[in-house]
Structure 1
Amino acid sequence: MAKLLILIPTILLLFYTSKCSATVYTVGDNAGWDISTDLDSWAKDKTFAVGDTLLFQYSQYHSVSEVTKENYEGCNTTNVLQSSSNGNTSFVLTSPGDRYFVCGNRLHCLGGMKLHVSVLGNEAMSPVGAPQAQPGGALPPGSSKSNSPSSSSSILNCVRIDSLVLAFFGLLVVLFGVM
C-alpha cells in the first residue's frame, strides 16, 4: 500500500507539464513601426517576458536598430548593437532587462520613433532548443509581411525540468525501494 501511495504522485508528476506562452508582439500593432505611431502608449500596457518576440514591420523609409541606453536617449544611430532594414525584423527577448530600439533615420528617432521595453525574467519558462528569430532574418513561423500588421501570439510547450527530475527519482523509489 505504501508503494501505491508513492506511485500515484509519481505518475502524476510524470504527466505534469506547465504550459508557457511566448507572445509575438507586432510593434505598433496595426500602425506598425512608423513615425506616426505613439510607441510609448503602445508599450505602456504590455508586459514583456523572456521568450517573447518583438516583430517590427515597416516601410522602405525606415529601419530598426537595437542600441544602448545612452544611444537611445541621444538617438545615436551610428553605433548600434543590431540593425535591419528589410521591412520585417524580429528580435527575440532572450534575457531579462531593458532593451532599446530606434529608427535608423536619426530625425525619425528624434521625432519619437524609438522604443524601450523592460523584459521580465521567467524562471518557469525554459524553451530549450526553441527556434530563435534573428534581426533581419526570417519571421517566426506563421508570420508574414503585410500592409496591415497585427498582433499574434504563439504557444511554446515548456517542460518544467524540476518536475521531471522529481518524477524520475520518485519512480526510482517505487521501482527499486531506494530510501
Structure 2
Amino acid sequence: MAKLFLYFYVLVGLSSLFLTCRATVYTVGGTGGWDISTDLGSWVAGKTFNAGDTLSFQYSSLHSVNQVNKDGFDNCSATNALLSSRDGNTSIPLSSPGQKYFICGTLSHCLGGMKLKVNVNGNQTTSPAGSPLLPPEKAPSVQLPSTKNNGPLPTVPSTGFSHTARNSLSAACFSILGAILWNELV
C-alpha cells in the first residue's frame, strides 16, 4: 500500500512540473497587424511576455521587421539589425529575458510609430513540450502570399493563445496511474 502512495505522489509531482510549461504566441498589433496604422503602444500595454513566448509579425510587402538594439530603436536605424525579414509573416521566439526592440525598416514608418519595445520576463525556465527555444536567426517562419495593398493580413486574436500539454499529459498521467493501480490490485 505504501508503494501505491509513493507512485501517486511522484505522479502528482511530475504532473505539476509539466503543467507549468507553456508559451504564448502574440500576433503583433492584433487584427491591425504590423502596420503604420496600428497603435502598437496600446497593443503592448498590459501584456506580460515571458521567455519562451513568440511574437508573430504579419505585414504587407510595404513593410519589414527588424530586431535592433536600443540605439537602433531610438534612432530608427536598421543598419546593425540583429534580425531582418520582409516575408510578410515573421515569427520571432523570445528566447531570453530583457528588453527586445523591433522597428520597420522604412524610416518614415518607424518615425511614424511603427516600432515596438517588449520587456521579456525570465519566469519561464523551460520551453513548451516538444518546442525547443530557437535563436532569432533560426526562428520558424511561414510564407504567405504577398498582398499588393497595405491592409493587414488575417490574424489570430491579439491576446495570444497558449500552447499547453495539459490535456495529453493529464491523460498520460492518469493512464499510468490506472495501470499502476491495476497491477497493485490484481
* TM-score of the two chains, using structure 2 as the length reference: 0.71
Give the 3-state SS of the residue equivalent to 1:30 in structure 2: helix
Contact 2:96 2:122 (8 Å CA) reproduced: yes
Q: Tell me whether 1:148 sits opposite 2:154 in the alignment.
A: yes
Q: What is the CA deviation profile of residues 125-154 of structure 1, one whole-angstrom value per residue up to 9, with x for unaligned ones?
A: 344751549567423xxx967832232524
Amino acid at match of 1:13: G
Q: Greater helix share, 1 or 2?
A: 2
Find the aligned partners of 2:14 and 2:60 in 1 and give their Cα distance.
49
Q: Tell me whether 1:138 sits opposite 2:146 in the alignment.
A: no
Q: Tell me whether 1:12 sits opposite 2:12 in the alignment.
A: yes
**Residue in 2 that maps onto 1:73:** 74
Q: What is the CA deviation profile of residues 80-137 of structure 1, one whole-angstrom value per residue up to 9, with x for unaligned ones?
A: 1100001000100001111000001011101100000000112453447515495674
Contact 2:52 2:124 (8 Å CA) reproduced: no
Find the aligned partners of 1:133 and 1:153 in 2 and give their Cα distance.
21
Q: Which moved more, 1:123-132 or 1:44-53?
A: 123-132
Q: Which moved more, 1:32-41 or 1:147-156?
A: 147-156
Amino acid at match of 2:70: K
Amino acid at match of 2:91: S
Root mean square deviation, CA, Å: 2.8
Give the 3-state SS of the residue equivalent to 1:109 in structure 2: helix
Identity of aligned residues (%): 48
Find the aligned partners of 1:53 and 1:106 in 2 and give their Cα distance.
25
Find the aligned partners of 2:54 and 2:14 in 1 and give their Cα distance.
30
CA 129–114 in structure 1, closer or farther in 2 if over 3 Å, else same: same
**Residue in 2 that maps onto 1:167:** none
CA 18–144 in structure 1, closer or farther in 2 if over 3 Å, else same: farther
CA 148–9 in structure 1, closer or farther in 2 if over 3 Å, else same: closer
Please list every run of 5 or more consecutive structure 2 residues that lacks an aligned counterpart in the other structure: 146-151, 167-186
Find the aligned partners of 2:57 and 2:11 in 1 and give their Cα distance.
44
Find the aligned partners of 1:150 and 1:144 in 2 and give their Cα distance.
15
Q: What is the CA deviation profile of residues 6-41 of structure 1, one whole-angstrom value per residue up to 9, with x for unaligned ones?
A: 454234335543243211111001111001111011
Please list every run of 5 or more consecutive structure 1 residues that lacks an aligned counterpart in the other structure: 159-179
Count, aligned residues: 155
**Residue in 1 that maps onto 2:99:** 98
Contact 2:88 2:144 (8 Å CA) reproduced: no
- Once the two structures are superposed, the pairs formed by residues 12-51 of structure 1 within 5 Å of their partners are 12-16=12-16, 17-51=18-52
Give the 3-state SS of the residue equivalent to 2:110 in structure 1: helix
* TM-score of the two chains, using structure 1 as the length reference: 0.73
